[in-house]
Amino acid sequence: MFTSHRRCARLASRLALSWSLVIAGTAACQNGGTMFSGSADASDACGREHVAFAESKSFYLQQVAQGALLGTLGGAVLGALAASASHGDVGKGAAIGAGAGLVAGGAAGYFNARRQQTADQAALSNSIYGDINKASQEMDRATATFTAVRNCRFAQASRIKGAFRQGMLSREQAAAQLDDQKRRFDDELALARQYGAKMTEQDQQFRFAADSLVKEDPAAQRALASRAAQMGTGEYVAVVAVVVRGAPSTGANRVAALTKGQHVHGLADPATGEWHKIALEDGGSSGYVLSKYLSPATKTAPAPPAPAPAAAPPSAASSRNVQVAVAATETIPEKRVAYNRSVDDAAKQSNLSFNLDQSS
């Protein structure tokens, strides 16, 4: 018995050491990358815009790591226990388990943490929905502040080029000022990429949480199926850029693509479930798009769904589960795609804007 207690004590001690190393390593991953100051630089004409964009760091580079850390902890514990049971190296087992947990734990860890913090399904749904709303608002802020700092940098580049053309600056002076603006904007682009990567992590977390909520809630499943069934004939608009498939399956061949805001004509095909059949622009063929990526056009109402047996209204938790699922699979991905596109466009434009011999 005494030997067993001593083994447990050693296991706890080594596990604590392993976990402290895991935390340090994970924190280094989260905080690594480009050094970026969030303080105003008096010599920077875009200092105010720079600081406003940097304010999102506390959200994207710290808070979003919660799920990954929880997943890492779970993996480390399981790895250490497995190593102990097989008389292996506890520290090595914890490290291996932590690595696996870090990969898989980001999405599952977030959902499990929220589950442990709430008392019932309704509270869990409300908590996740609140997180999605907060993430959506932060995406809006990051997009707006990035746009502002991008516009300011490009305006400064145009001013410098104008001064050079008017003889107010020598080539060396103008080149030096453009290099300074480019260096600053390169740092901001690097941070923008980090934000985008964290948005992707959030997307995965929210999708996992939404799928988990719906899987456990038959009423929510029926509500989502009914929502898809209401997609009949009529005019629809793509809420995001999306691929059109030749059959109602993600594995089917790509036959076309829709841009965000593109209008299409829906075709009735009740057997497709979550997929909606649409007419292609060639006028003679059709394809399939996931219903969640289409919305009825403003002036055209979809065909009414087929009559169905009366059913009890979904519970409050089920209704919120549906809202969580829709927000997680439509709102967050749509904003993430738009944000990343704006960053990519800005990176391409910077090659011209900060080149003294190129017109802006």
- What does the pLDDT look like over 10-21, one tens digit per residue? 554 454 444 444
Confidence band (pLDDT; 50, 70, 90) for 183? very high
Q: Which residue in 100, 68, 340, 104 sits closest to 199, CA to CA?
A: 340
- The overall average pLDDT reported for the chain is 74
Q: Which residues pair with 296 in a beta bridge?
A: 236
Q: How confident is the model at residue 331 (pLDDT cuts 50, 70, 90)?
A: confident
Q: How confident is the model at residue 137 (pLDDT cuts 50, 70, 90)?
A: very high
Q: Does pLDDT of 357 surpass 90?
A: no
Q: In which band, very low, low, confident or very high, does the pLDDT at 220 lie, cut at 50, 70 and 90?
A: confident
Residues 42-56, mean pLDDT to the nearest whole number = 93
Q: How is domain 232-300 classified at the CATH fold level?
A: SH3 type barrels. (2.30.30)
pTM of the model: 0.62
What is the pLDDT averaged over residues 253-263? 83
Instruction: Return the domain boundaries, the chain.
Output: 2-216+338-353, 232-300
318 or 140, greater pLDDT: 140
Q: Which residue's structure tokens are 């090659």?
A: 351
